[in-house]
Structure 1
């Protein structure tokens, strides 16, 4: 199973890379060395190739660059605003919770010169009554239509323990448009995709007409993956019973269709000429297309097709190889699929079918062969089919259980027995739903007649869900389950399987250990071993012997339209000044720069209460990321509920006023220059003018961090005789014309300046006048903006400063 080990190692490498930074070329060279050495040793008879392939896959995963899920797009700059968008509908719109849910891409926003393209995709929750389109049924919208929609744009919010924001980011969606109204619809051109979605909608209409309530929405969910019409009560029963996965077409469904159809086809046709593989292949892809070809099911279809191809070769181990190769190729093309819940369910369910379900069914059939032989032929075959079906479904359930627990924070304790019983009903329900939908398209009365059969099977399934859901303690809630526990769960499953099958692999492992202990017999093999060991040891030594930096680092993080500054002292002490508008985005950026120390920082500074500065910082504070939080004194009409919340969480909050000084580590100081006492009042923006301004010093080097101060507060600092001289200037208020007066620049005398500002922001920041003024003061080559340069890093040894972009 070499390819299975390669795929597993690659997936694990991708996962580790998300938390640990590894040099690209170092990982590639180590992977090549391991691969070549492993092949050479394999040819020499030293059987450690599987372990080396696993390590090679892991190193390749570490070397594979990952896209940044937190990177802003053009739409993120519009978060918190209401605007009109012109866009193209992608996928099939659905009615859900009294709203119309649809995805859009190829977005344009209104501008002075007409519609302007902007990057990004969005999920829209719109009024359920869009403009009617001739010859279409409600809700009228289809894949490929061009619409104009008006609504409020914001970042997605998580749903309980489920990281919904990451779930959408994997699909390149970072914006949700809520309370939206579809203003106009322009029907799109017919295409293969639009024809597929139109057929799917027609099949749903047939089921709604032909199958009595409340089973019709369940039939649409199981057959087509359209579950918007399911009542909250029915869905709650399925969730508590551990059967919610039956209501969303995914790899689990594809795995079950493949496993069950393969068993039936093999029983009817035998293994002659491999013909028994054709029907499962046709049924698998027919079902995937019927369900609208969701990405999860397509990936499962690819895996299943590779599995059938491996069976055609005639070796069961090749099937596991095919699964590993399929996963490897999917992750190679789109590595973010590893964080896609649908991919996780697809892969783990298919693995469960192959490694647990089919193996278990063979074992169970062997143990019950005597019993089945004593029964009449028909009864014996029926019992064998039932046993095989139950073991295959159990394999899929166990395989996907850790992923379900991690993503949804719940473990249905009765999920296994509920799934076992449900699998007795699912084939009949699926077949009846499909036949009803297809027959109803041709002859409506025939569809209605067959709909009664579908209703009977669906009623049995929904009653089963209600029965198991009513059992006290049926659903176990799991709080704080980490990805490490998921890997540990699969390691436990693998170890259990290894113990059960030890008679097959133990002799080979013993021989490999003996050969490894004695060493290769030829000089070439010895050189290969030494080469591999040298590469690995050299990599470890380079990392271990790299001296700690004695530099102060000031990172101006790219958080879009907002401020977030990370300060790292030479001895590792850390401070975060503001946190941008999104705690998850800022947390990921901080963790990437501080993979070990970033979990808890020494100081957090909230310069003022505007959301583009405070939301991310307060979110991190609620997670316990700071020892101390420094905040400006509250104004009379300012919301201070967060102070009570943080106090209850044990986070110390201290007010920052002029004259206060904090020591960061042993050699770095943060001096508070603003606000004064008494606070500014009656200005054009008291909240901005009372924000905390800081002077950062390390030896002879200094930086001035101006928060969002307007010129009124700048003149107050100048009139008070405050020392504003600094080498580096963090420009105030995102480069707005309200700040950075000529008098301030003359007092500071900076040699470099950084402007935190979002690309294509709705405020028009930075001001061209201010940019010109800054360029004249520091030179264009020493003027940076996060909109143009991304993350900006300044480093100092206490005398000089160095600037770089990218924050590597």
Structure 2
């Protein structure tokens, strides 16, 4: 029954986060009244019948939880503030801090900062404050880049964004004002192990070891993380339920073995379980305290607690109880992808049908079944949030997971202990290096098979089809039922995708969409006959505009651009071209030609050469001026710079100005034209 209540509570939280019901307090009140009624009259129901009303009440409670939007950042400039350290994420040579303002004031205006304002800052090196500590610092604050674009693929996560970026203004970036001895001790131990691994292991091996022991996922290189995720092994290289279960189980079994020969008058099994509870929770804290790590640690602690009192733990009930314990005080944690994926994967494993002991290759069949069920159960969330499904992960988990769980993870933890045993550093470090290289080589070998790492973004209808299909695959017991469910789901998905294309690629109308890319411009134009144009591409590199534009094109099923116009040569207008050249087919590009002539680093020339090598036609202002040819069922006219760009003008004033005309409607797009060029244009 507990598992149904937990599932209803989490479902209510998830639905409520998307719906944000105004009647949240009313729903919570109804749930409390209903709970009281069940408590008073529950004896009239059989114990099994309690599940239905209690699950409904749990759903209402989850639905009634109000999820506050992040506090926006409305300041820019130098500030002096005091903040609490919420989390620290270590990378290769730096760390990212998430802070919450306690008090602060802007230096120039004297404006007070809102208490609770989220702050994100980056610290070079490894001298970071412990989580939970209070620090004082002076920094330059600026708002975070937040982009909001309507899409067929809505964002189903909690409201994100808000808060400020902070750049330290002093050589000594912060001063620790207050920190508990416990937090300082744990942080010091983590720092010692981190320094030991960086000093004694090759960089690649140290990154893997830090990810496995300390939860420093950022210590892995970007390309390495992409490869690992593509082959479906991301859970192996992050502190998850697997790691906590291995460490906790090893600790308790070792204690049981040591205590078994001692005549202490206690049951050694219960005593070992009792000692294992605080050790398990301490390990989760030492390993970085991720949501999945805490979920697994609390699950293990509950299981050991039941052993202590002489009860046999039920895996499903203990997992459900852990989910409730974690999410009740902090509902936002329950909506993080890592937490939900952990819960769903665990549920799929626990609900797997038992393998007959008489079957040949029983262990291999069991591993294959668990790997398949985990992949199927997590597919809807992985596809929705991460844009692909690592189908090859079914095979890599069967082949690689034993090496990772039985060799690499234990050896990484043993190497962490060598920080206090110098004599063991060389043999254990050498063995760990060999094992990690084998593991990474296998990942690289399977990477070319990861053809489903990028899939089309789902709309709501397709998401529901995928969810229903995966549930049917998990429930079905016969191959005929599974094949039927897969076939029906595929047909429904294709039908929904066709409807999406008809809706997002309209005919007989001119649709102009101005994309929010922060600083810069990007405009999408759907022409009446179905042709498609993009005018400017926003910023490139690591700016979120790149991902925003790419995902919007994929959500609209636009894999070809008939016309791409780069109005002028500033990176916030052409920076995204690098990604578009590799992602979509571009038929034609229009340029004013100034940047190709005047740029110093030849970056634009390289991009255009790359596009031309793929068959893209490039046209310049002299060829385009004075003509108004029909295009896509409408008219498109270049108004400026004509007859060619003026070298005496700036890049902005040489922006291509276009006029789109369809029937009685017209649009004028002017890039970044400034006053002088605008006056000459209308003269």
The verdict on a shared fold, with TM-score over 0.5 as the criterion, is: yes
1:350 corresponds in structure 2 to 346
Is the CA contact (8 Å cut-off) linking 1:261 and 1:279 kept in structure 2? no
1:692 corresponds in structure 2 to 656
- Normalising by the residue count of structure 1, what TM-score does the alignment of the two structures yield? 0.52
Is the CA contact (8 Å cut-off) linking 1:122 and 1:175 kept in structure 2? yes
1:519 corresponds in structure 2 to none
Distance 2:652 2:617 in 1: 23
Which of 647, 655, 673 is matched with 2:639 structurally? Answer: 673
Per the alignment, do residues 68 and 643 of structure 1 end up closer, same or farther by CA in structure 2, a change over 3 Å counting?
Answer: farther
Local SS of the residue matching 1:183: coil
Distance 2:502 2:655 in 1: 42
Per the alignment, do residues 479 and 693 of structure 1 end up closer, same or farther by CA in structure 2, a change over 3 Å counting?
Answer: farther
- For the pair 1:102 / 2:96, whether they are aligned, the reply is yes
Per the alignment, do residues 599 and 85 of structure 1 end up closer, same or farther by CA in structure 2, a change over 3 Å counting?
Answer: farther
- For the pair 1:189 / 2:177, whether they are aligned, the reply is yes
How far 1:620 sits from its partner (Å)?
3.1
Per the alignment, do residues 96 and 275 of structure 1 end up closer, same or farther by CA in structure 2, a change over 3 Å counting?
Answer: closer
Alignment of 1:644-655 (within 5 A): 644-655=609-620
CA RMSD of aligned residues (A): 6.8
Per the alignment, do residues 212 and 333 of structure 1 end up closer, same or farther by CA in structure 2, a change over 3 Å counting?
Answer: closer
How far 1:210 sits from its partner (Å)?
12
Distance 2:348 2:426 in 1: 30
Distance 2:571 2:163 in 1: 18
Which of 511, 519, 523 is matched with 1:561 structurally? Answer: 519
- For the pair 1:420 / 2:402, whether they are aligned, the reply is yes
Distance 2:238 2:256 in 1: 28
2:448 corresponds in structure 1 to 477
1:124 corresponds in structure 2 to 122
> C-alpha deviations, 1:106-126, integer Å up to 9, x for none?
699987547996987545363
> C-alpha deviations, 1:148-194, integer Å up to 9, x for none?
568999999xxxxxxxxx9x99985999999x8961234223245x8
Distance 2:221 2:502 in 1: 58
Distance 2:663 2:556 in 1: 26
- For the pair 1:705 / 2:674, whether they are aligned, the reply is no
Alignment of 1:126-145 (within 5 A): 126=124, 128=125, 139=127, 141-143=129-131, 144-145=134-135
Is the CA contact (8 Å cut-off) linking 2:566 and 2:591 kept in structure 1? yes
Distance 1:465 1:644 in 2: 40
Per the alignment, do residues 650 and 117 of structure 1 end up closer, same or farther by CA in structure 2, a change over 3 Å counting?
Answer: farther
- For the pair 1:464 / 2:435, whether they are aligned, the reply is yes
Distance 1:122 1:711 in 2: 38
2:538 corresponds in structure 1 to 580
Local SS of the residue matching 1:188: strand
- For the pair 1:290 / 2:256, whether they are aligned, the reply is no
2:31 corresponds in structure 1 to none
Unaligned runs of 5+ in 1: 29-42, 44-48, 129-137, 157-165, 369-386, 438-446, 510-540, 720-808
Distance 1:331 1:483 in 2: 32
Which of 627, 641, 647 is matched with 1:660 structurally? Answer: 627
How far 1:291 sits from its partner (Å)?
2.0
Distance 1:148 1:397 in 2: 51
Per the alignment, do residues 23 and 649 of structure 1 end up closer, same or farther by CA in structure 2, a change over 3 Å counting?
Answer: farther
How far 1:394 sits from its partner (Å)?
10
Alignment of 1:154-169 (within 5 A): none
Local SS of the residue matching 1:697: strand
2:679 corresponds in structure 1 to 715
Distance 1:199 1:604 in 2: 54
Per the alignment, do residues 238 and 706 of structure 1 end up closer, same or farther by CA in structure 2, a change over 3 Å counting?
Answer: closer
Q: How many residue pairs are counted as aligned between the two chains?
A: 581
1:637 corresponds in structure 2 to 598
1:619 corresponds in structure 2 to 579
Per the alignment, do residues 388 and 710 of structure 1 end up closer, same or farther by CA in structure 2, a change over 3 Å counting?
Answer: same
Local SS of the residue matching 2:189: helix
Is the CA contact (8 Å cut-off) linking 2:635 and 2:661 kept in structure 1? yes
Alignment of 1:281-430 (within 5 A): 281-301=277-297, 318=317, 333=332, 337-338=336-337, 342-343=338-339, 346-347=342-343, 350-351=346-347, 354-355=350-351, 399=374, 416-421=398-403, 423-425=405-407
Distance 1:626 1:8 in 2: 48
> C-alpha deviations, 1:475-504, integer Å up to 9, x for none?
4434553465999999999888767x669x
How far 1:711 sits from its partner (Å)?
2.6
Is the CA contact (8 Å cut-off) linking 1:251 and 1:296 kept in structure 2? yes
Per the alignment, do residues 461 and 120 of structure 1 end up closer, same or farther by CA in structure 2, a change over 3 Å counting?
Answer: same
How far 1:680 sits from its partner (Å)?
1.6
Alignment of 1:726-765 (within 5 A): none
How far 1:717 sits from its partner (Å)?
2.1
How far 1:302 sits from its partner (Å)?
5.3
Local SS of the residue matching 2:672: coil
2:493 corresponds in structure 1 to none
Per the alignment, do residues 618 and 275 of structure 1 end up closer, same or farther by CA in structure 2, a change over 3 Å counting?
Answer: same
Local SS of the residue matching 1:640: helix
Is the CA contact (8 Å cut-off) linking 1:122 and 1:173 kept in structure 2? no
Distance 1:643 1:96 in 2: 35
Unaligned runs of 5+ in 2: 25-44, 46-50, 147-154, 261-265, 458-462, 483-498
How far 1:406 sits from its partner (Å)?
5.7
- Normalising by the residue count of structure 2, what TM-score does the alignment of the two structures yield? 0.60
Deviates more, 1:410-419 or 1:640-649: 410-419
Is the CA contact (8 Å cut-off) linking 2:87 and 2:98 kept in structure 1? no
> C-alpha deviations, 1:620-669, integer Å up to 9, x for none?
34421654333223452134221111112333333344323354543x33
Alignment of 1:194-233 (within 5 A): 195-196=182-183, 198-205=185-192, 213-214=200-201, 222-226=212-216
Is the CA contact (8 Å cut-off) linking 2:334 and 2:340 kept in structure 1? no
